[in-house]
Structure 1
Amino acid sequence: MADGQRADARRNYSRILAVAEREVAVHGAGASLEQIARTAGVGSATVRRHFPTRRALLEAVSRERVEALRVRAEELTGRDDSRAALLEWLGDVVVYSVAARGLAAALAYDGAPADPVHENSCSATLEEAAAPLLHRAVQDGAFAADVTVGDLITLIVGIVLATEHHPDPAARADRLFRMAVAGLGPRG
C-alpha cells in the first residue's frame, strides 16, 4: 500500500508541476494555486503538501531554466574577456527571467528568515554558477571588488519585475539592464 501511495504522490507531483508550469507561463508568479489544484484534479491541500510555499512552487517550475543558466555560466567561464563573459551571462539571466514569468519572483529576496528546508535554491544555484565569472571579472579589474552575485541577481530581478507589464517587456528589460551596466553618463 505504501508503494501505491508513493506512486500516487509522484503522479500528483508531476501533474501539479505540469499544470503550474502552464499557469505561471500565462499568469506569472501570481498564478492561482486554487486554479492549479482544480486543473490538476487535486485538492489545495495536496498542492500545499508538495509545495508548502508559493516560492517552492515557483522554484520547481523554474528548475530547468535555472539549470540551463548554470550550464551557460560554466560554458562562459574561462573566456578571455571576463567582463564580456559575465555580462553575456547576466544578459541571458535577463532574457530567461522575462521569458519565464515567475523566475524573477523565484529569485527575489523577500527578507524572510532563511528556511533550511525551503531555501531559495534557484538563487543559490545561480550564485554558485556565476561566482567564478564574477571572481575573474573582479581579478581583471572589470568589476568592483565589493560587487556580489547577489547584488547582480537583485538588480536583474528589480528590472524584470519593473518591466513585467510593459508592452515589450524583453526590450524594456534589456534596455534598462544595458543602462545599468553602462552607467548613466554620456556615451561618447
Structure 2
Amino acid sequence: MATETAGQRQVGGPPATAAVRTPDVRPMRADARRNYERLLTEARTAFTEHGTDTSLEDIARRAGVGIGTLYRHFPNRTALMGAVFQSEVDALLGYARELADAPQPCAALVDWLRAIITHASTYRGLSRALMTASADESSGMARCSVPMREAGGALLARAQQAGAVRPDVNISDLMQLTNGIALAVEESPDDPQLADRLLTLTLRGLKP
C-alpha cells in the first residue's frame, strides 16, 4: 500500500488536519486602552488646532507615550485619522439615515452634503485626505470614505428617481465635488457664505 507523502491529500475529502482555527481576539489591556484613548484625544485636539499633517511625534508626546506606542495602535497617519474621525462619520451616517425618507429627496441630499462640508472644514487637511482616499484601502480613511459613499449613494438615487438630479451623476464624483467645496471653505474662513454659493452652483449642474 502506498504511503501518503508530505503535501499529498486524499482526493475528494479534507485533509486529516483540516480543522480551522480562528485567531483569538484578545481584549485590550487596561493600560493599552488608556494609551489608545489618550492618543485619540490628543490627535483630535492637534488636528483641530494644527491640521491633519501635524507631527505624529508631537501627538505621542502630548499623550505621554512614545512614538512606538502610537504606531502599535495606529500603523500610519491614515489609520489614526480614520479612528479620530469615526465618531463624526457615524454622526453623518446617522443623519443620512434620518434623511432617507425625507419628502424632498433633492433637499435631503443637499442638506447632507452641507453637513459633510461643515464636518470636513473643521479639521484642516481632512477634506484633502478624503478626496485622495482610495475605495480599495483595507484600513485608515477608507473606513470613513467607503460607508460615506454608500450612504450618499442612497440619497443620490432617491433624488435621481424623483427626477431632481441627472441620471449620469455618480456618488464618487459628487463626493469629490463636496470635498472640494470643503477644501475651498477651509481656505477661505472669512467668507461664511462660500459653501452655500458653491453648493448652489453644484446643484445647478446636477439638475436634468
Larger radius of gyration: 2
Q: Is the 8 A contact 1:95 1:170 kept in 2?
A: no
In structure 2, what is the equivalent of residue 104 of structure 1?
A: 127
State how far apart, in whole Å, the 1-side matches of 2:47 and 2:28 are.
28
State how far apart, in whole Å, the 2-side matches of 1:79 and 1:7 are.
44
Amino acid at match of 1:174: D
Deviations 1:83-142 (A, max 9, x none): 11111111111111112445424422256x833244601111211222221111111111
Residues matched between the structures, number? 180
State how far apart, in whole Å, the 2-side matches of 1:180 and 1:84 are.
13
In structure 2, what is the equivalent of residue 172 of structure 1?
A: 194
- Evaluate the alpha carbon distance shift between residue 61 and residue 119 of structure 1 in structure 2; reply closer, same or farther with a 3 A threshold: closer
In structure 1, what is the equivalent of residue 84 of structure 2?
A: 61
**Aligned-residue CA RMSD (Å):** 2.3
Q: Which moved more, 1:3-12 or 1:149-158?
A: 3-12
In structure 1, what is the equivalent of residue 61 of structure 2?
A: 38
Deviation at 1:61, TM superposition (A): 1.2
In structure 2, what is the equivalent of residue 51 of structure 1?
A: 74
Gaps in structure 1 of 5+ consecutive residues: 184-188
State how far apart, in whole Å, the 1-side matches of 2:83 and 2:129 are.
9
State how far apart, in whole Å, the 2-side matches of 1:169 and 1:64 are.
27
Amino acid at match of 1:157: N
Write out aligned runs for 1:13-162 (5 A): 13-110=36-133, 114-118=136-140, 120-162=142-184
Gaps in structure 2 of 5+ consecutive residues: 1-25
- Evaluate the alpha carbon distance shift between residue 115 and residue 4 of structure 1 in structure 2; reply closer, same or farther with a 3 A threshold: closer
State how far apart, in whole Å, the 1-side matches of 2:194 and 2:124 are.
15
Q: Specify the SS of the correspondent of 2:193.
A: helix
State how far apart, in whole Å, the 2-side matches of 1:133 and 1:5 are.
37
Q: Is the 8 A contact 2:131 2:176 kept in 1?
A: yes
Identity %: 43
| TM-score, scaled relative to structure 2 | 0.77
In structure 2, what is the equivalent of residue 186 of structure 1?
A: none
- Evaluate the alpha carbon distance shift between residue 43 and residue 105 of structure 1 in structure 2; reply closer, same or farther with a 3 A threshold: farther
